[in-house]
Structure 1
């Protein structure tokens, strides 16, 4: 091939200004103070551009954009958060109204009451594994429709749960929760992959928005879970006040059974209507969901489930599986233990021990504090100087410290004199759990894996997490609150260690680079990839110990990218209208011919002609074995 130096027309393609200096140096290769200046400058420029964009649009246009980009993507998780975490809230009401079943256990066996929590967590685990696999196998849209349909069925059964006795009602309630849990479990991998793949897009080159805001786009959908919890608590308070005649139950007295019946059934009927709308919306408006998965399968020549990618993910990315699944397990010991048994925790910080309404008020404060953590995590998740790995590590460490403090001085902090200190500790632990592992685990469990098995990997990691939730669901029924504070901190410390050693930091990483690396790994040529996906900054400590970053070479990678672009240009030229990848490239790149700029296309056209002329010239020369004229 002719050795023609690559002109400056490739500079924007090879060195996007949000990740590289004008000289072509990657931001993570800069010394600390230059890196600080570069990252701050890019973030400031982006913040100004976003502020100008917001000011240039009407309030309605901004609200519509927020609803489209964040709320609609995460509405399934919002509905899930509403229902799933209402179980702990309703447990306090059920204990107050039907103590013979839910508290003294005279009419309902303890195993039956405990099974409500067990079946809920088990259903979530089944859904995460099953629908995660189906989402990669059949398609993203199928998974989205399936989990919405299952959630709707579960909510109908919860609203209508009944029995000829209290024990019979609890059985129907538990079965309905299991069915709903299956749908909830599927919502995790499908929402994460959908939010991420919508952010990344399916074109050849990732957008500036993806590199700078991918984490925010995904976590903005995830924080809808927090809004679901908040709305559930508000609605429970309002409905119970209405059904009880606008008054709180006096101390020592219970709310009526009719008020409790209306309250819990209305609280489930409302999200059922929302879920029915969600199913309609996904059926009619999300017909193109999973476009990036289809393109990835087409490039890999896979039609069904990509078992090769699954097998290679566990063999090549095993430490990443440890990071995402292990950290999620440790987090769910804290998070789900806190939520499923929140009535037990709230009773400790509640001065009115037997007041359902007072306990709900304290929980509303707790959820409000958590919401601040959700939003702060969303705002800082893409900051290259802090990012995913540091946020998760710091969050784990602070929850460890905050739970360890009262663990060994429990009577001091739970006394009336110091109860406000205990309340502050409990609320802060909720804040740092959201501004840390609970948000980050949801994001990275999809982000660190390749497209073909992203939903499966996310579902597997989440399912391992739910084993942690199931562990505490069993354990918390047999140990006291003080013992809980002695047990839980060590899981947080373990989560911090797992994160520090095994989790790669994908903050600021172009995920198309990860797909380029995966293509080399899948072809058995892992050492042929030289791009930023193997930059030491984007690798885990474990991967650096094992020399994964040795192949990083910006110079070789630039040459490789140009050759890859040349091949794609040639393929696009030869593609017919029926070739799906070619069609997607043209649509994604805004109608540019062959998906490339006019200058790059002209360059490839020129060099191709030059190569053809040289090839013809070489073929016309006599070989060493050819005839020659006699003198």
Structure 2
């Protein structure tokens, strides 16, 4: 029988769902709204950037970003995100979750505005400035991953913890939709006022000077939700698990949670000292004891997140190329630049509404019912199945009468990514590691995911640009590249399915029970009564 917990941790594990849970979801979730908005809005304006800054007056086609420039613009934020996840994940365990939380948000606000103000006298200097700000924007976004997940897991009760963490992450779906809606509004407003013909070689790629404001406004709007959230983040108390188990201040932990839970909680410094000074609760990250207890867990969380993000970010960033390949979005030369932005954002918003967002909320509803492991297995399996169903009969889907079917099938891959590994890979690392290493290990796991996103952003870009000469003149400039890419992504999903076998189930358990912080030095569970655990007052 497992030992009884510290009173403050027991109170958190058994707390009924109340207002502070929903407040924490909104505060942490708005960070993820901003994260998704900022990361995915680049895919909405990439073609516009090519038309504005890389138009060739001697060509009979609109301008487009060179492959190396497109790769940099799409991938640089992921490089920053990976760095931020490692740095802020480590810092969250050293300085505390709350103390670091505000830093990431302010960095996101400043760099969102900086992206919109990207300056320069030449296309190269403008793009260089944009990449600079997007790297540091990604750095701030990276910090939000381990901190938001850790804070929510440490605030939640054990019965509905999975749903609460999933709800925070589900705000990512609203961020994707938010980016699409803002782009629709901005592009529609500019299109109405500065409408121009389709493609005209004498009209600089059928755009107007005012189109330069479109992408800048879209990027700068990302600062708004982050700025609005800053005050409330700073009002949140530090999590009791960090204060008690890492900072070793039982009195402060009890005082903070007494206010949050609105009950009297007795501090017990002796119990904290008993727990935190044990050899089994003091090993470092890269020690033999860590590898013995959590090495397989870290392998499971890093590998599955890496494989998932290759597929997930490839799909999100390059939807516009896939939609153009199957003819759902008309050829660029048949419309002006702002019209193209409008059509791309409309298509991606529709996919998000029909596939992405429902997947997130199915996870919220079911994760504490059927468990993390099952949802992750289901998600990887059906992602693989639907990608193969698109890739094998690819010629069938490129016919005009079958394009709606392609879009429906493609939306299902997003649904099962989010009702599946895109949610669970975020949740599990926040539950299975000890409190003093929780943020760091989540940051490492998330960074592995962003390494996968970088592979997807750069690899899929070049794969999708390969051409089938037989199809080029028929209007399918990226046909063979898209098909082969779908096969590769299906393979990644299959590997993710295999590595999921290493993922432990954490449903219905306390964080200390999952991580082994209630074990003796020899790995056996402590008997009840080994440490002092006072009963709650006034309950």
The TM-score with structure 1 as length reference comes to: 0.69
Q: Paired residue for 2:81, among 100, 115, 124?
A: 124
**Distance in 1 between residues matched to 2:65 and 2:396, nearest whole Å:** 36
Q: Paired residue for 2:532, among 568, 580, 585?
A: 568
**Distance in 1 between residues matched to 2:282 and 2:314, nearest whole Å:** 35
- Following TM superposition, by how much is the alpha carbon of 1:352 offset from its aligned partner in structure 2, in angstroms? 2.1
Q: Paired residue for 1:449, among 433, 445, 451?
A: 433
**Distance in 2 between residues matched to 1:490 and 1:97, nearest whole Å:** 37
**Distance in 1 between residues matched to 2:173 and 2:419, nearest whole Å:** 12
Q: Per-residue displacement from partner, 1:160-217 (whole Å, max 9, x unpaired)?
A: 1111011110000011100000001110000000111111xxxxxxxxxx23211111
Counterpart residue number, 1:377: 363
Counterpart residue number, 1:220: 167
Equivalent residue of 1:162, what SS? coil
Could you tell me whether the CA contact under 8 Å between 2:54 and 2:64 is conserved in 1?
no
Counterpart residue number, 1:433: 417
Equivalent residue of 1:418, what SS? helix
Q: Following TM superposition, where does structure 1 have runs of at least 4 consecutive aligned residues deviating by more than 6 angstroms? A: 103-108
- Following TM superposition, by how much is the alpha carbon of 1:105 offset from its aligned partner in structure 2, in angstroms? 10
Counterpart residue number, 2:191: 244
Q: Paired residue for 2:397, among 404, 409, 413?
A: 413
Q: Paired residue for 1:525, among 519, 522, 527?
A: 522
Q: Per-residue displacement from partner, 1:120-159 (whole Å, max 9, x unpaired)?
A: 1110100000000000011111221221122122112112
Could you tell me whether the CA contact under 8 Å between 1:112 and 1:171 is conserved in 2?
no
- Following TM superposition, by how much is the alpha carbon of 1:117 offset from its aligned partner in structure 2, in angstroms? 2.3
Counterpart residue number, 2:353: 368
**Distance in 1 between residues matched to 2:353 and 2:362, nearest whole Å:** 13
Counterpart residue number, 2:126: 169
- Following TM superposition, by how much is the alpha carbon of 1:72 offset from its aligned partner in structure 2, in angstroms? 1.6
Could you tell me whether the CA contact under 8 Å between 2:51 and 2:64 is conserved in 1?
no
- Following TM superposition, by how much is the alpha carbon of 1:306 offset from its aligned partner in structure 2, in angstroms? 6.3
Counterpart residue number, 1:289: 238
Total equivalences in the alignment:
467
Counterpart residue number, 1:280: 231
Higher relative CO (CA 8 A, sep ≥ 6), structure 1 or 2? 2
Query: Larger Rg: 1 or 2?
Result: 1
Could you tell me whether the CA contact under 8 Å between 1:189 and 1:455 is conserved in 2?
yes
Counterpart residue number, 1:539: none
- Following TM superposition, by how much is the alpha carbon of 1:356 offset from its aligned partner in structure 2, in angstroms? 3.3
Output aligned runs, 1:83-232, within 5 Å: 83-100=38-55, 110-199=67-156, 210-232=157-179
**Distance in 2 between residues matched to 1:113 and 1:93, nearest whole Å:** 12
Q: Paired residue for 2:387, among 373, 389, 403?
A: 403
**Distance in 2 between residues matched to 1:93 and 1:184, nearest whole Å:** 24
Equivalent residue of 1:508, what SS? coil
Q: CA 1:105–1:346 in 2, change beyond 3 Å: closer, same or farther?
A: closer
Could you tell me whether the CA contact under 8 Å between 1:91 and 1:343 is conserved in 2?
no
- Following TM superposition, by how much is the alpha carbon of 1:67 offset from its aligned partner in structure 2, in angstroms? 5.6
Q: Paired residue for 2:302, among 321, 325, 341?
A: 325
Output aligned runs, 1:491-506, within 5 Å: 491-499=492-500, 501-506=501-506
Q: Per-residue displacement from partner, 1:510-534 (whole Å, max 9, x unpaired)?
A: 324235x3342xx5320x22xxxxx
Give the unaligned 5+ runs of structure 2: 249-271, 333-339, 464-480
Equivalent residue of 1:417, what SS? helix
- Following TM superposition, by how much is the alpha carbon of 1:109 offset from its aligned partner in structure 2, in angstroms? 5.4
- Following TM superposition, by how much is the alpha carbon of 1:462 offset from its aligned partner in structure 2, in angstroms? 0.7
**Distance in 2 between residues matched to 1:524 and 1:505, nearest whole Å:** 23
Q: Paired residue for 2:314, among 337, 343, 346?
A: 337
Counterpart residue number, 1:233: 180
Could you tell me whether the CA contact under 8 Å between 2:390 and 2:406 is conserved in 1?
yes
- Following TM superposition, by how much is the alpha carbon of 1:255 offset from its aligned partner in structure 2, in angstroms? 6.0
- Following TM superposition, by how much is the alpha carbon of 1:247 offset from its aligned partner in structure 2, in angstroms? 7.8
Equivalent residue of 1:398, what SS? helix
Q: CA 1:227–1:278 in 2, change beyond 3 Å: closer, same or farther?
A: same
Over aligned residue pairs, what C-alpha RMSD do you find?
Answer: 3.0
**Distance in 2 between residues matched to 1:399 and 1:494, nearest whole Å:** 12
**Distance in 1 between residues matched to 2:196 and 2:412, nearest whole Å:** 30
Could you tell me whether the CA contact under 8 Å between 1:227 and 1:371 is conserved in 2?
yes
